[in-house]
Chains A and B, each alone.
Chain A
């Protein structure tokens, strides 16, 4: 191995899949040998069996669907509100001066700490779940998008001015397209965080969803089901990440992503 020398695509796939194999092998070794009792950790095959029964007997697909809906819904609302505000803050310094101090304060408020209040305000329905994700994502999106838009290359802005652009043209035809790829990367990250908020929201005061299933399984001490639930979240995360990256490559062929 030499520092910073790239690997081929084939080698990358083999190595990436390899660690999953190693991980499952250690998990199997720890459980099959009896080193860790099944009460604390189910073996790989028991986890898969638990997953199969969840899906076929207990309608777990519905839980997955409702959780995906909450994550995507809350995330989209946060993005739809946060991206425009962030762009305006990045582009126009008075707007930034007005919002930035409050948003810097608000983004340190832990979304999970709002759950009891939100239950009081919005009940235990979908509005409350979406609100938790919104609070967790919105302020992060705003701050990061403002930072990206504010870091637009000044020489590109100046070139646009000398070509006759005015404020509106600078925003629409320079700042927004220049920021777009990084904004999408930010959204990809924030979607990942939204998954942690949804599970927390579902652990408290929920009657459906992956988080609720994990909570139920704890009462039954069914570690197989709990682990299966966690693995499902990981797989969904992996797939959305992959889709997001593919979308970005398609949307921004000019950028080196």
Chain B
């Protein structure tokens, strides 16, 4: 269970214009509080700056203005307390599944025996048993993302930052991955910040959905999802789910149209 509170306060981001063009504003001031153990989905049309926001929380990008703090401590650089899974496949191709999962532990000098025990635990939890010694290129997309999730979790981060981690997977695999992620989250209730443009995915996973506007991104709406956990696929057919979906579709359609016209 995470204990630290994430506070995003007045974060803006603009990118320098090329050849004297005006700077491009990607994020308008963003304020967002994430309580320990919350599962927050950030939903928005492509190009709205939701990934930029996540990268700022990760410390991979610097805000133009505003601050990100974790339990009051400002975030300035990436660190193992904020684990991240990317949309692209980012397993290290020269390491086996088990070695990939141990990467962060080895970097911190965790003893060999402990590394092995931790890796074994997350291999089992992500259903990769039997694939410990496979190279990433021998795995399917879904397995690669499961391994990437295990690699981030092995570091025991305070927050899990997920940047459309299932975006490149086919629909069926994606649904299985969502259920697996919920199972893992339910077990130790780590704070999760999940970026997606898939409305169903956002409702199914999160206990709060933050809707972002078209670029320059700002928080347009915050919708609590009070569906009970544990959730499984049957939830997607309930009236409560449909009501939430209708509301979020209304919010997002307008933004998608703006983004498409821009």
Contact = CB atoms under 8 A, between A and B. Distances in A.
Interface string B97-141: 000000110111000000000000000000000000001110000
B86 A159 contact: yes
Interface string A243-257: 000000000111110
B93 A163 contact: no
B103 to A, nearest CB: 5
A162 B60 contact: yes
Contacts of B90: 155-156, 158-159
B78 A158 contact: yes
Nearest to B104: A163
A256 B88 contact: no
A159 B84 contact: yes
Interface residues of A, number: 21
Given A163-B103, A163-B155, A254 B78 contact: no
Interface residue SS majority, chain A: helix
Given A156-B92, A174-B92, A254 B135 contact: yes
A163 B60 contact: no
Nearest to B157: A162
A158 B80 CA distance: 12
Nearest to B148: A159
A155 B84 CA distance: 11
B78 A169 contact: no
A12 interface: no
A254 B94 contact: yes
B56 interface: no
Nearest to B90: A159
B86 A158 contact: yes
Nearest to A174: B92
Most buried by B among A156, A164, A255: A164
A253 B134 CA distance: 11
A72 interface: no
Contacts of B104: 163-165
B103 A173 contact: yes
Contacts, number: 73
B60 A158 contact: yes
A162 B78 contact: yes
A156 B92 CA distance: 7
Nearest to B154: A163
B58 interface: yes
B41 interface: no
B151 interface: yes
B8 interface: no
A99 interface: no
A173 to B, nearest CB: 7
B137 A163 contact: no
Contact of B88 (A155, A161, A165, A255): A155
B152 interface: yes
B58 A162 contact: yes
A163 B86 contact: no
B146 interface: no
A165 B151 CA distance: 13
A237 B191 CA distance: 59
B83 interface: yes
B89 to A, nearest CB: 9
Contacts of A159: 84, 86, 90, 92, 148
State the 5 A-B residue pairs at the shortest beta-carbon distance, nearest first.
A164-B80, A163-B104, A161-B78, A159-B90, A162-B84
17 contacts: A155-B90, A156-B90, A158-B60, A158-B78, A158-B84, A158-B86, A159-B84, A159-B92, A161-B77, A161-B78, A162-B60, A164-B107, A178-B94, A254-B93, A254-B94, A254-B135, A254-B136
